[in-house]
Structure 1
């Protein structure tokens, strides 16, 4: 079984006795159902799972369930013999977005308190926004992502002792020894190929067959692109067009979404595609990075809406699109191949999985810095520059950024393939894999 850090959060919540219902959001195929089922079956003698998408396509028992009593009646038809006491009965409402009215019902189920509940779904941001009565105060919503690099290390045999040792070295700004660096870099490059989608990781661990891994990634990518069932055909096509443009945008110098390129129509603006962006972001299949020209803490107060970058939610999907079954470009670190898009994507996925909102610095005269994150310890901003090549010490925009006294920058970071950790002025040079410790 794959180790997932969110399992501890789920377990703690279910053991806490709180009346709030945990609602796990996230893209499809990231492992929500599996991990909830695993934890739930470990903790509760009576585990009842109801998949609302399956119900909506079949018997539709819950289609018109509006009261607590009706909900219990429908559940009893499926698993009445397992409906015991709150302490030993967990009802798992999976794919709850299929019936938005059940989100409102969560409030009353929580108040009734007859059983313990947990729910999961995708597109919950959009669904909640369209729900007439949002169950605020009755739910705790958390987002689940594909496996991050730390979880990938565990999947490949690393243990707590090794990870804890690496974390200490990161905190002390110390380098790994050469042998350990080579081992972690080898696994990091394999992570760039495999990514963090559980089916792809399990396939890689079992077979070590890149063609099979790529097949799984293509299937999921195609599924993501096609899954916009809530919209009409025109909106579906536009969503797919925006999604399909993400890899090619990554190959451009600016990497931004250009509104007029989406349909090839002049005069189109970001406002014309607000629903499309919202769908991709809320579905968890794209990560958005907002532009900031005045980087003051907290960054959300000065974020722009019209200079947007979108990244795929999984680096393995991107590397498959860009390089197919040819793994040498990444594993051999071929000089002629620019891995900038892949490195920037993996940093975006790591930061997002660790709770950071994503921003980048944009200044017409001084250039761009790849990422900005809020530094809550110093109440300032931490800039991050990502380098895939050997010119990792060249970063004029970052130099200007950290020198600007108006920004009050305490420390900036450059991530690259280099093993040695070093500090030059306000800039810290780190190996790329240390991004796994940038926790919010």
Structure 2
């Protein structure tokens, strides 16, 4: 089962613009569909292609990179014979799949691109992890593209609900609510997305099982086990810390503040001891990290803090399976409670995680803001996310609060708005109800996050 992916159009743009002068490196977490969409692109857009999967490439193929890079005629002839594919200059593509498993192939890109005969595409996970780059010269002849699980729009395409998306975007632009039945339909799709997630195999199982969440859950648990196996291969000095943070993500997100309190992971531990941990989780794209900014202004990253971090799972469907064991999902009727809006704190955790996922898919880095009030001995301003328009001359930021319930207050957002009003382009509350505007705050349903 193939799904339409937005990244395909970016492949087309690369093919036209790069014209063989740069390889395309597609990186992302395991099992998000990188290999599938890259091979589909090569099949559709080239006269022929060769796919070298370094997870199972024979040793003689790997030896070509050691022995024949100085004689590319022989190099390409051997690949052509090995894979039974005729190559055509400027009309064929060669794919290096799971290139992180054989870094020498990635290093060879410099010479292969310079030769100019064929287009090269690479896919990989953990591309920037030290173990995968320590013995090679990183080629500058690469264009990097990050790929994520299916976003909500792609999920709707997969469920044959494509016509709903332009209507959602139109309502957002006009700042008007969806017609009631359409809002209910969009919310039903959103809740399915929250539970199933955007991992292709989870969606396939869900659809082939006639929308059976249990079938989807089995696939998601297999993916989580795969991630855990990857973590077991990490260097010993920080393996246990990566596993500790990964295992505690549901618990961290269940708390009110949601941020990582390092000395609660291991007593006496400090933030700087977890630097490599968060680098690994972020670079593997298993997790989306969100850092606090102390003075939100031009360039949010300039005032980000390494000691205040929230850690979201890269796919919310995986978070559901990570947070609840199989028995809990059934015995506690988790799916039923989520659809009824009665899961309480855990539902807030899932809501915030899925909004983080949708913002990252839209190209945003994640930042949050808190202000501590010494007199009240608590935070009196808490903003879940801040995004920016990234303009260097007309900079504006957009604070976002996420509310999983229909009843809420937004005093915190009002205080933030008053404090930084000259820097703010607009304020958003994301809630389960239809679109409404009040006190210059645009309150939007979660499916409209695709419009931000």
Normalising by structure 2, report the TM-score.
0.90
Aligned residue for 2:89?
86
Q: Distance in 2 between matches of 1:61 and 1:111?
A: 21
How far the C-alpha of 1:319 sits from its partner, in A, is 1.8
Shift of the 337–382 alpha-carbon distance from structure 1 to 2, 3 Å rule, reads: closer
Aligned residue for 2:316?
315
Aligned to 1:255, what secondary structure does the other structure show?
coil
How far the C-alpha of 1:422 sits from its partner, in A, is 1.4
Deviates more, 1:366-375 or 1:30-39: 366-375
Aligned to 2:94, what secondary structure does the other structure show?
strand
Cα displacement string for residues 228-284 of structure 1 (whole angstroms, at most 9, x for unaligned residues): 36533453222111111111100111111122233x231x11211211211111001
The one of 139, 143, 159 equivalent to 2:142 is: 139
Deviates more, 1:27-36 or 1:69-78: 69-78
The one of 363, 375, 379 equivalent to 2:371 is: 363
The one of 184, 187, 211 equivalent to 1:185 is: 187
Q: Distance in 1 between matches of 2:385 and 2:420?
A: 19
Aligned residue for 1:61?
61
The one of 171, 174, 177 equivalent to 2:173 is: 171
Aligned residue for 1:194?
196
Question: Do the aligned partners of 2:20 and 2:119 also contact (CA within 8 Å) in 1?
Answer: no
Q: Distance in 1 between matches of 2:146 and 2:358?
A: 13
Q: Distance in 1 between matches of 2:313 and 2:71?
A: 41
Any unmatched runs of 5+ in structure 1?
none
The one of 237, 249, 254 equivalent to 1:251 is: 254
Question: Do the aligned partners of 2:48 and 2:88 also contact (CA within 8 Å) in 1?
Answer: no
Aligned to 2:190, what secondary structure does the other structure show?
helix
Normalising by structure 1, report the TM-score.
0.92
Any unmatched runs of 5+ in structure 2?
374-379
Aligned to 1:92, what secondary structure does the other structure show?
strand
Considering only aligned residues, what root-mean-square deviation do their CA atoms show, in Å? 2.1
The one of 11, 14, 33 equivalent to 1:31 is: 33
How far the C-alpha of 1:150 sits from its partner, in A, is 0.6
How far the C-alpha of 1:60 sits from its partner, in A, is 6.0
* Aligned length in residues: 430
Q: Distance in 2 between matches of 1:348 and 1:240?
A: 21
Aligned to 1:304, what secondary structure does the other structure show?
strand
Q: Distance in 1 between matches of 2:90 and 2:26?
A: 21
Aligned residue for 2:356?
348
Aligned residue for 2:221?
218
The one of 389, 405, 422 equivalent to 1:375 is: 389
How far the C-alpha of 1:64 sits from its partner, in A, is 7.8
Q: Distance in 1 between matches of 2:346 and 2:238?
A: 34
Aligned residue for 1:434?
448
Aligned to 1:119, what secondary structure does the other structure show?
strand
Q: How does 1:220-235 map to 2 (within 5 A)?
A: 220-228=223-231, 230-235=233-238
Q: Distance in 2 between matches of 1:131 and 1:370?
A: 40
